[in-house]
Amino acid sequence: MDKPTAVDRRKFLGALGVTVGGTGLAGAGLVAGPQLVKAAGEPPKGKIPDTPYRTGHMTFFTSPAAVLGEPSYKGHIMAAEEINAQGGFLGKRKIETITADEAAGTDANVKELRRMKLEGKIDLFTGIISSGNTPALGPVAEELSLLTIFVDGCTDFLFDKAVPQPKYTFRITNIQSADGITSAIGTAQTWPQVRRIAHIHPDYSYGRNAAEHFTLALERLLPGTEVVSESWPKLGTTDFTSHITKAMSANPDLLYTAVWGGDYVAFYKQALRYGLFDKMKVATTLALGVAPHAIGKDHPEGVLAGVHSNYYFTYPGGDRWPLNKEFVQRYHKRWNEYPNFQSEGSYVTLYMLKKAIERANQLVGGWPDDEVIISQLEGMGYDAPSGYVYIRPDNHQGYKDAVIGFSKNLPDYPFSTWDPNRVITIPIRNITAPPSWPKPGQGHNESTAAADWIKKTWPKATG
Amino acid sequence: MILLETVDLSKQFGDVHACDHVNFTVNKGEFLSLVGSNGAGKTSLVNLISGHLKPDSGRILFEDKDLTFAPVYERIRAGIARSFQIVNLFDALSVFDNVALSIFSRERKVVKIAALADRDQDVRREALDVLSQFGLAEKSAVFAGGLAQGERKLLDVAVAYALRPKLLFLDEPTSGVSTRDKTQIMDTVSSVVRAGAVTAVVIEHDMDVVFRYSDRIVMMHEGRFLADGTPEAIKANKDVANILLGAPLSA
Amino acid sequence: MSILIIQILNSLFYASVLFLIAAGLSLIFGVMRIVNMAHGTFYAVGAFVTAWLVGRAIALGVPAAWTFLLIPVGAGAVALLGVAIEPLLRPFYRRAEEYQLLVTFGLLLILEDVIRLLWGGLPLSADPVMDVLPSIRFGGLIYPGYNLVVIAIGVAAAIGLWAVIYRTKFGVMLRATSQDRRMASALGLNVGLVYVSAFAIGCFMAGLGGAIIVPTQTAVLGMGIDALILAFVVVVIGGLGSLQGALVGALIVSFVRTAGIQFFPEIELAVLYLIAAVVLLVKPTGLFGTA
Amino acid sequence: MLADVSRAQPKLLLFAAAAVVLILLALLPSYISLYQTQLLTYGLIAAIAALGFNLLLGYTGLLSFGHSAFFGIGAYSVAFLLRDAGIRSMELYILIGLPVAALTSALFGYICVRHTRIFFGILTLALSQVLWTLTYKFFWVTGGSDGLRVGRPTLLAGMLTFTGRDAFQRFINGYYYYVLAVFAICVVIMWVIVHSPFGKALQAIRDNETRAAFLGLRIRRFRWVAFLISGTFTGLAGILWVPLNGLTTPEVLYWPFSGEIVFMTLLGGFRNFTGPIVGGILFTYLKTYAVAATEYWQLLLGVVLVLLVMLLPTGIVGAISATAAKLRWKEKPA
């Protein structure tokens, strides 16, 4: 590996386009866009069948991961209801949704996806939370020539290896590697003095990936940091006391954890009572991402609280980005809770598809073939509640600027939320490998293209 | 000539002497009865010899081969077989299979995995032959579990007999059946056994049966041998009489 | 040093909960000869019921200190559930083990979904209970007082159960029945009653485990399955049907687990199963098992 | 002689019935949808697994709660063969995978058959879970929770390859017949085994261990060999399953999957030869449609299982044959 050059950290972070701002301000890449909900501009061309447009939404309805699955489903349903209220796609084809439980297991999910396509005759497959499932289902979707837009299941592995040349598969949320890198940048930006790092991560690909990319990026941003403790609790662990004590025994400056969902709730409640938060800084990837209302008021303030580097409902806030304000209002009205990044992702999925269908219809008239719709999805830019979303044509991956904030207890919410004045945004293009970058197995054997890209191109920060 | 010999064979359960330095010999070709009140140690002795129990001390010699601690299957191969007092069959298998299995085992064919059991004509012939000797031929296709008690007793013996042992222990072959069946069973068993020139040791309570069929009778009491002789000699033995009458021993 | 103490306390804390679950499993097997695959789910029910009750109570403005009383209530609820379910198992007492395993396995599947039906997917927490008690200082570190209570309850449960089984008339009935069902009924014992109460006690233990742990953690879907497997490991090591076995097994498992987390995180889980397998090899009935 | 007649006739009927079923299965794909074909393929594979499992439960009287281990071993050896040796031929998968599965079963079996009843069950469970945790933990070898992908193999020594236009459709249809053939062979082999002297001996051991010992049978050895064969069959199922599923994950090693194998066997009935076959196919459909029908599919399966054990302890085939027997009884009064 070529020796990294040295640059000043402030310059470095500047070059990465890191901005720390209030939720009232537009973050990087935000451009005030048209209202989200509005009747289609041009009237549809040609004859449109009024047969329903069948979508299959697979997500976690059972198991601990249901805390992520339900928001995803709710976002999908809300978008479908709104679109159907206007008569459906192209004003004609109402959206019908059949669901399946992702918790049935990867192998059962493969079966179920085939059933949805071959028997359920779905036009679109969407949903999916687990990064263990997209690499399994992506190839199947290609196999079935089934238009598929994954909401999450964010592993780089999907488009790096499992489906290197996607035709039918897309994914809307930021990739996994962005999580680790975002937390690393957030850490370097906020606590440049930390050196001793402890890790507690769920023992599966997500935790492994987060740890690896965080460490890689931090080495460059804060040279001389060392890993002083590691724990790999099984996903679904609820007793973290020994992991917490182990981490504390190494007296680190910072604890970095990718634990999420019910596990995270159990974790922070125990960590709180073990005085962990008084002893060290804490950075997370998904702390507040899971479901805003799942995190209690007792959650400590000032934790670098990740949201899967995607979206938190208070950002962009105020009237600066009405798209989000109105989305959150409608969502809260519909479900009596606040959306998370899954809700936003599955909501935007249907609207981007809607836009692609409308464009395709303008091009070819009538109901467009999937091929035409896909051509419109590729390279599409879109103003979403979370900001500007762009689908890269080469790997069908949706990109939006990465965001991460700091936990704070505000009077206006019954749960811990983001500090409105301290939100970190990073232009996504600066923390992911560029389109041309070789994928794993093409001249390098790093776990992801991003990892290789960081190792080869990132300088070492000084000062 | 001596077929089986035990030397000071002993077995204790707690402080109960099931077998107390028993020196037991069986001669080739005889039909021997082992008698004595319950708990006299008859079944324990058979269990020790057949390998169902491990002795505390002493030796078991069969045709001058030491089988004291030999595993059960070696004793079977050496030629010792037994039936059981409480019928011990393969209830979910057909009567035919119950007997056939003994033959397969004896012929070392039981390990055959790629051949249909019913296609082995030799075994089939012999099995049916054994069954007809025991008067069970008609039942061969019935599940062993579906037989009447008397038939089950016979089949239990037949299964042991089909091993073609040199020495066959029959543990109360007539227990739990009506008097009429008793004679019928014993007639069958003794005739088959004698016809097959198999040495047999029968544990039996019914003295009429014992006196009628045995060449020699051995009497056990509290783990020891009390008397050993021809039916006539035993009949004459006072101790035996007392025991059988349940009276205390004079000696 | 203080780290060591705290890790030991952590292990004891974990052990007392494991013991409550495993002892119940063992008791049920010892008396009824049934390996209850749904046992872990009873533990989960205890957690959910308690968390839910505490949540309601706090919402109704009940002072946190009083919510302590809800812990036995939660456990009791599970005992009642046990009483309700036991008749379902009666037809299987004389049937082959595979049937008992499968019917309880079916029960597990059902209860797991019923929990979700009642309480949904979000984790429930009951930490107000925990915060009633202050934390204790160890050198530079602190340890929640409540966890010491959990340890105490574990110890109390062990002693209590021991006393019931070896020092009371009912205990004699229990042991008699576990020795020989027929003999017991021949002696005029009401075996049916013994079974119900044994099952209820077993469920109560599991429920108590869930009830005391939930304030320190959260009630989440699937917690029962993990608990079941660990309880299995415990009883396999200690010996199915043995109380001492459950105790020693729980201690071994939790200390090994802690050591695993501290020193060799990679094979933390595998080690537990290996221990279980090894014990079964050298002593199939477990360290204290009979039968 | 009587015996011969009474035994020969039902056997002839059996062969006739089997032939008919086989022909029907062979004709089916031309009448059912592609999806049904692949689901049926899953079913046949499950049937092979259950068939092997039942040699242990039904014929030897040992309840294994760890057969997921052998299914998983089969599946993962294929995945490794593809990833590390670049092998794509289904035949090679089977030729190399089977010995691996056999060795694992031999090892596990050697340890497990020292015990019976519940201890046997728990020991198999514990050992299979060791395998599960290792697969789960050593993710850089096994892909951890992500599992390993397996592309479509070539069939019949490369004569059939599946790439390009509607490869998937062609693969499913081709693979169905491939699996059907293997399935038929497995059924014949297993049928011979259980009707061989060895098979009879196993049943004898199941019915009455003591007496079996007094026929001179070396009980533990027989159990061991039975375990080995059983595990190998289930391993073969795992081998056949991966290419169809496209990947393998630690889930197939996790104990609930062992539970599913037991479930399907009881569903069909473990006292009949055909029980596990019927059970395997039925269970595949049952679970697939339960998952599709409701998010409370677990509850559904649970209820089915409980009702099954309560009302049809001998399984579906067992119940049918019982009723059939009753009817026959009515026809000719004894």
All residues at 6 or more sequence positions from A205 whose CB lies less than 8 Å from its CB, including other chains: A131, A132, A155, A157, A176, D139, D144, D145, D146
Q: Are residues A123 and A14 in the same domain?
A: no
Contacts of D59 in chain B (CB under 8 A): none
Inter-CA distances, D140 with D134, D136, D216, Å: 11, 10, 50
Rounded CA separation B158/B81 (Å)? 11
How far apart are alpha carbons C70 and B36 in whole angstroms?
A: 68
- Report the gap between the CA of C132 and the closest CA in chain A (Å): 12
Same domain, A261 and A351: no
> pLDDT grade, residue B75 (50/70/90)?
very high
The β-bridge relationship of strands A304-306 and B80-82 is unpaired
Task: Kindly report, residue by residue over C164-196, the tens digit of the pLDDT.
Answer: 888 888 888 888 888 777 777 777 778 888 889
CA distance to partner chain C, nearest, from residue A241 (Å): 6
Q: Does C270 touch chain A (CB under 8 A)?
A: no
- DSSP state string for C111-172: HHHHHHHHH-SSPB--HHHHHTSPEEEETTEEEEHHHHHHHHHHHHHHHHHHHHHHHSHHHH
- Determine what percent of chain D is predicted with pLDDT higher than 90: 49
Question: Do both A413 and A302 map to the same domain?
Answer: yes
Record: contact D303-C106, CB cut-off 8 A: yes
3-state secondary structure of A211: helix
Number of H helices, E strands in chain D: 15, 2
Q: Quick check: A10 and A52 in contact, CB under 8 A?
A: no
Do residues A18 and A60 lie in contact, with contact meaning Cβ atoms separated by under 8 Å?
no
pLDDT tens for C115-135 read 988 987 778 888 888 888 888
Residue showing tokens 């081709």: D174
Ranking A197-211, B124-138, C263-277 by mean pLDDT, the lowest is C263-277
A302 with A419, same domain? yes
In a domain, A289, yes or no: yes
pLDDT over 70 at D7, yes or no: no
Distance of CA A197 to the CA centre of its chain: 24
Which has the closest alpha carbon to A129: A183, A63, A178?
A63
Contacts of D139 in chain A (CB under 8 A): 204-205, 208
Contacting residues of B for D188, CB less than 8 Å apart: none
Q: Which residues of D touch A62 (CB under 8 A)?
A: 295, 298
Among A21-25, A233-237, B193-197, C145-149, name the one with the lowest average pLDDT.
Answer: A21-25
Examine chains A and B and say if they touch (3+ CB pairs below 8 A): no
**Mean of the per-residue pLDDT values for chain B?**
85
pLDDT at A442: 86
Model confidence pLDDT, tens digit, residues B220-234: 888 888 888 888 888
Percentage helix, strand, coil, to 5, in chain D? Answer: 80, 0, 20
pLDDT of residue C107: 93
* Interchain CB distance below 8 Å, D42 and A132: no
Report yes or no on A46 lying in a domain.
no
In B36-134, beta strands by DSSP E? 57-62, 65-66, 80-82
Subunits with 3+ Cβ pairs within 8 Å of C are A, D
Q: Which of B73, B28, B19, B44 is nearest to B225 (CA)?
A: B19
pLDDT tens track for C14-39: 999 999 999 999 999 888 888 888 99
The answer to whether D204 contacts B84, with C-beta atoms less than 8 Å apart, is no
Q: Which residues of D touch B (CB under 8 A)?
A: 2-3, 6-7, 192-193, 195-201, 203-204, 206-208, 210-218, 225
D247: distance to nearest CA of chain A, Å? 7
Tens-place pLDDT, residues A144-192: 999 999 999 888 888 888 898 999 999 998 889 999 999 999 999 999 9
**Domain match, A300 and A283 both:** yes
Check: CB of residue D78 under 8 Å from CB of residue D93: yes
Q: Does A40 fall in a domain?
A: no
CB neighbour burial string for A403-428, b if at least 16 within 10 angstroms, e if fewer: bbbbbbbeeebebbbbbbebbbbbbb
Report whether pLDDT(B93) > 70.
yes
Supply φ then ψ for residue D148, to 5 degrees.
-125, 140
Map tokens 């020495």 to a residue: B167
Check residue C263 and give its pLDDT: 86
- B247 has pLDDT over 70: no
pLDDT at residue number D165: 73
Count helices and strands (H / E) in chain A.
14, 18
Residue C134 or residue D239, greater confidence = D239
DSSP category for residue A26: -
Expressed in percent and rounded to 5, the helix, strand and coil fractions of chain A are 40, 20, 45
DSSP code of A295?
S
Tell whether the model's pLDDT for residue B59 goes beyond 80: yes
Render each residue's pLDDT in chain A as its tens digit; 463 residues: 456 777 888 888 888 888 777 654 444 444 444 444 444 467 888 899 999 999 999 999 877 788 889 999 999 999 999 999 999 999 999 999 999 989 888 888 998 999 999 988 999 999 999 888 898 899 999 989 999 999 998 888 888 888 989 999 999 988 899 999 999 999 999 999 999 999 999 988 889 889 999 999 999 999 999 999 999 888 888 889 999 999 998 999 999 999 988 889 889 999 999 999 999 999 999 888 888 888 888 899 999 999 998 899 988 877 778 889 999 999 999 999 999 999 999 999 999 999 999 999 999 989 999 999 999 999 999 999 998 999 999 889 999 999 999 999 999 899 999 998 899 999 988 899 988 899 888 888 888 999 999 999 999 888 6
- pLDDT bucket at B244, cuts 50 / 70 / 90: low
D9, pLDDT greater than 70: no
- Encoded tokens for D115: 């015990």
Sequence-separated contacts (24+) of D295-298 with Cβ below 8 Å: D295/A61, D295/A62, D295/A99, D295/A101, D296/C113, D296/C116, D296/C117, D297/A101, D297/A104, D298/A62, D298/C109, D298/C110, D298/C112, D298/C113
- Specify whether A208 is located in the same domain as A307: yes
Q: Please tell me the distance from the alpha carbon of residue D152 to that of residue B233, in angstroms, as a whole number.
A: 86
Q: What is the 3-state secondary structure (H, E, C) of D266-303?
A: HHHCCCCCCHHHHHHHHHHHHHHHHHHHCCCHHHHHHH
Q: Alpha-carbon distance D265 to D280, whole Å?
A: 7
Minimal CA separation from D218 to chain B, in Å: 7
User: Does residue C286 surpass a pLDDT of 70?
Assistant: yes
Residues ≥6 apart with Cβ < 8 Å to C81: C42, C45, C203, C207
The answer, yes or no, to whether A and C have at least 3 beta-carbon pairs within 8 Å is: yes
Same domain membership, residue A167 and residue A139: yes
Give the closest residue to B54 by CA, choosing from B23, B26, B19: B19
Q: Omega before A316 cis (within 30°)?
A: yes
Q: What is the DSSP letter of A87?
A: T
Alpha helices, H only, chain C: 2-32, 39-59, 70-89, 97-119, 127-131, 145-167, 169-179, 181-186, 191-213, 223-238, 243-263, 268-282
Using pLDDT thresholds of 50, 70 and 90, give the confidence band for residue D73: very high
Encode pLDDT of C194-219 as tens digits. Answer: 889 999 999 999 999 999 999 988 88
CATH code for the domain defined by B2-91+167-245: 3.40.50.300
Residues present in chain D in total:
334
Q: DSSP states of A92-125 as a string?
A: TB-EEEEEEEGGG-HHHHHHHHHHHHHTS--SEE
D245/A162 CB distance under 8 A: no
* pLDDT confidence of residue A235: 82
Task: Answer whether residue A41 is part of any domain.
Answer: no
Give the pLDDT of residue A463: 67
Tens of pLDDT, residue by residue over D295-331, are: 888 899 999 999 988 888 888 888 888 888 887 766 6
CA gap A227, D326 in Å, rounded:
73
* Interchain CB contacts (distance < 8 Å): B and D: 112
For residue C102, give the nearest of D262, D299, D303 by CB distance.
Answer: D262
Q: A184 and A261: one domain?
A: yes
Q: Do chains D and C touch (3 or more CB pairs under 8 A)?
A: yes
Contacts of D115 in chain C (CB under 8 A): 280, 284
Q: Which of D39, D41, D45, D247 shows the shortest CA–CA distance to D151?
A: D247
Look at residue A155 and give its three-state secondary structure. Answer: coil
Reported confidence tier of residue D2, pLDDT bands at 50, 70, 90 = very low
Same domain, residue pair A284 and A407: yes
Chain D: residue nearest B111 by CA?
D198
Question: What is the residue extent of each domain of chain B?
Answer: 2-91+167-245
d(CA C119, CA A262): 14
User: How many contacts, defined by CB atoms under 8 Å, are there between C and D?
Assistant: 110
pLDDT > 50? residue B250: no
- The two three-digit tokens of residue A158, written as one number: 């999907």
Q: Which residues contact A432 (CB under 8 A, 6 or more apart)?
A: A175, A177, A178, A399, A450, A453
Domain coverage including residue A439: 6-26+177-312+401-462
Q: CB count, 10 Å around CB of D311?
A: 8
C144 touches A at CB < 8 Å: yes
Number of domains in chain A: 2
